[in-house]
Amino acid sequence: MTTGINQAGSRRWQYLLFSVASLALLWQSQTLGATEFDYQEAQVDELQEAMTVGTLSAEDVVRHYYQQIARHNRRGADLRAVNQLLPLADALALARTLDAEREQGALRGPLHGIPVLLKDNIDTADGLANTGGSLLLKEHYPAADAFLVQRLRDAGAIIIGKANLSEWANFRSTASSSGWSSVGGQTKNPFDTSRSTCGSSAGSAAAVSANLIPLAVGTETDGSLVCPAAITGIVTIKPTLGLVSRGGIIPISHSQDTAGPLARSVRDAVYLLSAMLGEDTADSASYAAKVDFTQHLNADGLRGKRIGVMRDLMGYHSGLDAVLETQLQVLRDAGAIIVDDVEFVNGRGWGQDEFTVLLHEFKADLAHYFAQHPESPYRNLADLIAANQAQADAIMPFFGQELFTLAQGRSEADQEAYEAALKRAKQAAGPDGIDATLASQDLDILIAPTTAPAWKIDLINGDNYMGSASSPAAVAGYPHITVPMGFVHHLPVGLSFFAGANSEAKLIEAAYGFEQHTKARRAPALLPRHH
């Protein structure tokens, strides 16, 4: 492993497993003001108002969420959602600085003093390791913040720790259990701890859903934001590729990777997304947003929008489809024009090409990431494959590294085939897919159920994955929002809204309007269930 780690870095690693001593610290007393505030399902605006009038301070807020994590991460509901926390003293010091700014009237925006968790594949320079969920990287301490992390700090967010994830963002094995990593173990669904969170932003979604944190950042290549959000009953916005910088994130595919917000409401997701925006000159896809997304939080945002119901993204779960049917009338009542029985006009012919692209880019992009981290003992995928094999008992007790091996098999001889696959996939999902389908019936937005209800966790057989609406927007690099739309038995399910490139404003209007008319989100009981 890396040698010469500074003492601060080594000290912070002990927080990874939440020792008994650190748990005791987290349980220490709160101030009176903190106990008077009802944090359950608290929205950012409510926290801000309480801090403005003096009911709460940022210190109070930070203490509360540390306590919630202590209660339910490794005990209580045992969610395994959080891999690392800053030492409490460090987080409180950040909070005190922001409290002092507030007292002086210097507010940075909606996230001023709000705690945030980051998926454990995003670089920070605060002594938290960036592990990607792998024990191989447990002492990988980046020297600089990722660009989006800089933006969040500038916005006044208090980044308190790292959330568990599917190891290597679910791109190690064909038989993985979503939400499992060798660093954090198996993340569990707050609505039923015997069931999956989906992946790969498993811990980020579970922590937000369980009220362990107000907001979290996840990442997606295909489904890794929208699937865990839908399955844990929260909101996410997967943005257009390049709207949020890809810099400082352990990659899978530069053609599809993006970070995005996870929140319990559309408004809070918009606040978090807006804070991450900004053009990063070091990222070739990055661009500056030209829209203030908060101006599109319109409760009447569905009125007049032509919405196509994507029937060819349904049919894999009858209970899920039944929930959607009940929501179509809600959409109509809110003023939307529903165009039913829509299918992709040119089919869905991008699947194999997408897989080719991901394998090819993973090998190259990972090497590029490590080139920016000269302190790492790993330089490429081959190094990781060998190290995984050497530590197989700890790192691969349940599933292997078939995807690593397939990606390692790509070479310069495959470059031409890769470029052709990339061109075909982008064309099929984008211009010939989403764009052509929207144009065919003059539609504004396409909708479908996001994914099936949560399946049972099965470390032996892997995920029981039925279907999803994630791939079209993921492959095209287009935006996709999921919002809670109801329940199948005790399990939440989500409704997906997606459209063409840079259509976030329109999607936010529709998603916010839907949310305001349904109010389908509810908090989990945080009690183990075994149905």
3-state percent helix, strand, coil for the chain, nearest multiple of 5: 40, 15, 45
Instruction: Identify whether 318 is a catalytic site residue.
Output: no
Q: Is the peptide bond before 134 cis (omega within 30 degrees of 0)?
A: no
Residue 110 has pLDDT above 70, yes or no: yes
**Cα–Cα distance for residue pair 177/196, rounded to 1 Å:** 8
pLDDT (average), residues 89-93: 98
C-alpha distance from residue 143 to each of 6, 76, 129, 376, 381 (Å): 12, 35, 10, 11, 21
How confident is residue 527, by pLDDT bands cut at 50, 70 and 90?
low
Lowest mean pLDDT among 9-13, 39-43, 237-241: 9-13
Given a cut of 70, whether residue 322 has pLDDT beyond it is yes
Structure confidence at residue 19 as a pLDDT band (50, 70, 90): very low
- Contact assessment for residue 468 and residue 474, using Cβ atoms and an 8 Å cutoff: no
> pLDDT tier at 526 (50, 70, 90 boundaries)?
confident
> For residue 87, what are the CA distances in angstroms to 132, 140, 144, 453?
20, 18, 19, 36
* Catalytic residue (choose from 166, 209, 224, 255): 224
112 close to 48: Cβ distance less than 8 angstroms: yes
Q: How confident is the model at residue 440 (pLDDT cuts 50, 70, 90)?
A: very high
Of the listed ranges 21-30, 178-187, 490-499, the one predicted with least confidence: 21-30
Establish whether 200 is a catalytic residue: yes
Mean pLDDT, all residues of the chain? 93
215, 259 contact by CB (below 8 A):
no
Give residue 76's pLDDT.
94
Which domains can be identified in the chain, with CATH numbers? 7-347+423-518 (3.90.1300.10)
Strand order in the sheet with 235-238: 82-85, 158-163, 115-119, 215-220, 258-263, 235-238, 480-488, 491-498, 445-449, 306-310, 337-342
pLDDT tens for 375-418 read 999 999 999 999 999 999 999 999 999 999 999 999 999 999 99
Taking the C-alpha atoms of residue 430 and residue 479, their distance in angstroms, rounded to an integer, is 11
pLDDT of 184: 98
State mean pLDDT over 133-160: 98
Which residue(s) pair with 447 in the sheet? 309, 497
In percent, how much of the chain has pLDDT > 90? 92
Residue 130's pLDDT is 98
489: phi > 0 → left, psi -120 to 50 → alpha, else beta; which? left
Confidence of residue 451 (pLDDT cuts 50, 70, 90): very high
Predicted pLDDT of residue 528: 59
Structure tokens at 438: 């929207």
- pTM of this structure: 0.94
Question: Which pLDDT score is estimated for 6?
Answer: 36
Q: Which of 57, 119, 134, 471 is catalytic?
A: 119
- Which of 12-26, 88-102, 105-119, 272-286 comes out lowest in average pLDDT? 12-26
- Per the listing, tokens 């209580």 go with 76
Q: How far apart are CA 247 and CA 262, in angstroms?
A: 19
Q: Residue 26 above 60 pLDDT?
A: no
Over 90: is that where the pLDDT of 12 sits?
A: no
Catalytic (active site) residue 119: yes
Q: Is 340 exposed, middle or buried (0-12, 13-18, 19+ CB in 10 A)?
A: exposed
Looking at residues 215-223, what average pLDDT do you find? 98
The catalytically annotated residue of 176, 200, 265, 503 is 200
> Taking residues 356-362, what's their average pLDDT?
98
Amino acid residing at 41: E
pLDDT of the residue at 529: 54
334-355 pLDDT, tens digit per residue, is 999 999 999 999 999 999 999 9
Q: Are 425 and 473 in contact (CB under 8 A)?
A: no
Tell me what pLDDT residue 294 has. 98
What per-residue confidence (pLDDT) applies to 285? Answer: 97
Buried b / exposed e over 448-469, threshold 16 CB at 10 Å, is bbbbbbbbebeeeebbebebbb
pLDDT more than 70, % of the chain: 92
Q: Residue 36 — very low, low, confident or very high, per pLDDT cuts 50/70/90?
A: confident
Q: What is the pLDDT of residues 222-275, one digit of tens each?
A: 999 999 999 999 999 999 999 999 999 999 999 999 999 999 999 999 999 999
